[in-house]
Structure 1
């Protein structure tokens, strides 16, 4: 039991703390990655692709935000994909902005990935940038992202995802925002060492020629697209000064639905990307992929209950053991009980839409890993489709 507890504990600590520390040390030993000189003449044509299934309420703000980008207007095209929408999205775009944007519509809802595959067939520019309809970009986002493509080794670039929360936000919203700040830090480290391992669909760009049509039942299209490009030998860079802003999920129910779907997509992606587990072929990419993604999805959620059970056994044995470790196991078990009690309290408060900062980190961490286990069950049942599943967001954009 001591071995089980120690092994599982090391996996959890490495995944969430040790990996980041090791990458930071490796970067310091090797030195910073060379910065390319600014080239103001580098301004290739780009297409901004916006999947917009039933996003009529967000479209006026999204179109204005897209047209307001600082990138040269004659170098950027806008393609809105309204496939399957029934809320008048295509009609609105055509009547209000028909001369300034392209619209890829259709009455049949085939799913986001099928729509993206169709959209990429329409792209004639060397670069394509994907962004969600319900997110707002900073005005220099396109300009900042495109600058990385001056490096021929860069095949894709991911922007930063920011969750807009306020002081009265629920625990789920606060936890989601904190999680993405942590993710952004890891992405900065990954990018500096070699490549990031998975872009966020809210904002990422690719070289059009590198796009490979994705299986239409794919759940995490952004993750699969970016990692397949990395698997071709290109780097996926990270640009924190190009960011997409969105509100957190409306409620814990909405956030749970989103997390379980993402987790199911994570297991689906790991199966389809299993070839990346070969360190002899992919080197640093395999190291980063396993440490940052595979261990978090496939190991940590199973280690946590094992740690608790092993610790409970050792704590019970401690009553009759003269071992100097006895009191230590008991103290550790008490701390674990307090942690999960705090998570349970946070869950109860969240259901009442109340926030207590002292418990939202234990709550969100536990909630996130529980959703991964639920996502595995969904994946194994084959109960997930590739069609869009809209999740309600907090009411106001707050921008």
Structure 2
């Protein structure tokens, strides 16, 4: 087998493993684990209602902040045990004023905007409970989310709990909405398997919780602070549980242009996170955690986007060297896939909605964003005070 074929098959296997095989393998391992281990029940005869602090980060959310506060105040949890903190640092609109008028909510505000990690760290100085839940201001939480999350803390090994992120898409949703919605459905499945096997590898900032004593300011220049914070907790010997019955509802990006800003920022943050969490590549020190981290995250951030390019080029060069039915058919398949993605891009820009074409377009777009994110990372152009992506209005 020559070098071109080695590159072709390595790229193909890596891509298939990352997007399909990993989910199959973890599902199988979870089934084996459950077959040989008795199911543990977290429920107890007496209610578990410890004091909890809910920290909501908000920046220029005047159009939505009132709804977020009302949603928060309606959470099904004893009011005496739920401390609600809204931090609005840097907001230049009416967000702080609106929060200030609401009883039962603690407002933290300063004019300087230093990023979300800095805001979280400042808010933690005012937290008085043993458990804290973080949530974004542009999301709505289900009423039972606090109860569903804190029940996991009966287990002393649990350092944090990741809630589910649900993307609302409408019948006339654009490519950004359809693609992001499908992505998070699959991502939620993988998180469920990761948690059942060992631990979630990275929580989403829309809704996640930790033990207060485990909070660590890993650097105010962090781009994906929730991801790094949760994995640093895992590196200290704790696990992050996934709780799908605690969820945050969020609308999709308003357009692919807005989704592009979000994806490139996250991609830049991913490379930053790899540097900060470099010890997680030591599979001898963190056997299972490293396996999950590399398989679920690193391959998607590195080898898969590069593999798509190598797969196409090596496939074409192989056909120049020899006639092969398989390589010929696969090359046609690749060309058609990119062509369908191109059509999806054209239709999305013209606001023509054919959802079947949005998936290949979003997949290509998602992987292309990794390259842009990498260049932004090495040029140090991504800051923690980015312009947030506009999202669809929530009904």
Matched, 1:277 2:281: yes
Compare 35-44 and 368-377 and name the one that shifted more. Answer: 35-44
TM-score normalized by structure 1?
0.96
Is residue 50–residue 133 contact of structure 1 (8 Å, CA) maintained in 2? yes
In 2, Cα distance between equivalents of 1:40 and 1:361: 47
The match for 1:13 is: 16
Unpaired runs of at least 5, structure 1 = 320-325
Q: CA deviation at 1:221?
A: 0.5
Q: Is the partner of 1:244 in helix, strand or coil? A: strand
User: Counterparts in 2 of 1:240-251, with a 5 A limit?
Assistant: 240-251=244-255
In 2, Cα distance between equivalents of 1:35 and 1:167: 40
User: Counterparts in 2 of 1:253-268, with a 5 A limit?
Assistant: 253-268=257-272
Q: CA deviation at 1:378?
A: 0.3
The match for 2:135 is: 131
The match for 1:368 is: 366
Which one of 86, 90, 110 corresponds to residue 114 of structure 2?
110
Q: Is the partner of 1:280 in helix, strand or coil? A: coil
In 2, Cα distance between equivalents of 1:138 and 1:41: 19
User: Counterparts in 2 of 1:119-198, with a 5 A limit?
Assistant: 119-198=123-202
Q: Is the partner of 2:132 in helix, strand or coil? A: strand
Q: CA deviation at 1:262?
A: 0.3
Q: CA deviation at 1:39?
A: 4.8
User: Counterparts in 2 of 1:318-337, with a 5 A limit?
Assistant: 318-319=322-323, 326-337=324-335
The match for 2:81 is: 75
User: Counterparts in 2 of 1:168-247, with a 5 A limit?
Assistant: 168-247=172-251
TM-score normalized by structure 2?
0.96
The match for 1:397 is: 394
In 2, Cα distance between equivalents of 1:354 and 1:147: 46
The match for 1:24 is: 27
The match for 1:357 is: 355
Deviations 1:228-281 (CA, angstroms, capped at 9, x unpaired): 001111010000011101110001100000000000000000100001111111
The match for 2:377 is: 379
In 2, Cα distance between equivalents of 1:57 and 1:343: 35
Q: Is the partner of 1:279 in helix, strand or coil? A: coil
Q: How many residues are paired up?
A: 389
Q: CA deviation at 1:29?
A: 1.5
Is residue 131–residue 201 contact of structure 1 (8 Å, CA) maintained in 2? yes
